[in-house]
Amino acid sequence: MGPSCPTAPTGHLRLRARGGLLVLMTGGEQDIVGQVERAVDRLAHRRVGVVMAAGPPGRVHTASRGDTGRDETPDARTLFEIGSITKVFTALLLADGVVRGQWRLDTPVRDLLPAGTDLPGRGGDPITLQQLATHTSGLPRSPGRLGLRENLAYLRTGADPYADLTERVVLSGLRDVRPRRRPGQGTPKYSNLGFGLLGIAMTSATGADFGELARDRICGPLGMPDTVTEDLMTDDQRRRTALGHRSRRRGAEPWPLRGIPGAGALRSTASDMARFLAAHLDPSTTALEDAVRLTQATPPSGPGRMGLGWHRAGEGTLWHNGGTGGFRAIAVVDQLGGSLAVTLVNQTRGADLPTFRLIRGISS
């Protein structure tokens, strides 16, 4: 657990300018502000740009340092690729569809995929939607046609290794997939292919594309206007998007992930992500209460494994990180401490451990 700012004496108040007005800060607020500012200071000198937001809902403090790649300092409204944090949104779409009665957690994936799609299982057991969302499907980590050539091109030039991976290519490649074990057996094994298929299955069943589903069913109801796929971005959002970097001096191409959007296609801001995480601390305040609670329920694989899309780090802590060719991100919810934290970086140097230390310091 990282160092924390000493708590101010009870009743201690401080003035801070907010929106042109002087407002009173309690000792607890000062402590949160100090911890977030120090945490982002420690991160900034080794990263191109970073934004951190943390605290209990209603008292979240956001701090930023560095550069967006456009000669601007990032802020709470700067868009970053959030990579695999998208999977938590995909899982919430799954849960929302269950609440709506569109499918069940135990619905076989093949029932929702386009007609004629060959999805091999193992041992004769069909792969279910829940198994995709909990990484227990037995499917490999990546689509089979993502090969050495694409990965080497990324390492040399920053080129997007998924650029030629369309939905059609993903589905046609399933015939060559060999699941590693029977669905639902063993410990979870992380699979981008699995979450990509989950997104494809839901878009096939609803007739909407992934970005539209996320916008209409999650981001709209939660008040998150800047959480979008690349194809749905406005000109203003594009201007506010940070540029990705492999290092301080080497850039990286965007990763639209159009072939497997459910695995990592979303962009978001610290402001939007704080709203999203706040909804997971108190689902009763949202229109998605039942769906959010379903994502947090522990599946039959046992405690300490995974909820739908969420990793677990001890009792009451939900988290997911993400990375693309030029970005890193992490989101954490501490249900017992009542706090949230998100860190967004436009470089392939993450901030997982510092973010965990920050939220533990705030919660304590």
Quick: pLDDT tens for 273-285: 999 999 999 999 9
First CA to last CA across the chain, in angstroms? 10
Return the pLDDT at 4: 33
For 73-117, the pLDDT digits (tens) are: 999 999 999 999 999 999 999 999 999 999 999 999 999 999 888
CATH 3.40.630.30, domain 13-363, yes or no = no
Supply the pLDDT for residue 149: 62
Give SS3 for 186.
coil
Report pLDDT for 138. Answer: 85
Q: What is the pLDDT of residue 301?
A: 54
Give the pLDDT confidence score for residue 325 in this predicted structure: 92
φ, ψ for residue 136 (rounded to 5)? -120, 25
Amino acid letter for position 147: G
The torsion angle over the Cα atoms of residues 224, 227, 232 and 236, rounded to 10 degrees, is: 80
pTM of the prediction? 0.89
> In the chain, where are the structural domains located?
13-363
Name the stretches of the chain with pLDDT < 70. 1-29, 120-124, 144-151, 298-305
- CA distance readout (Å), 281 to 179, 268, 304, 312, 337: 36, 19, 18, 14, 10
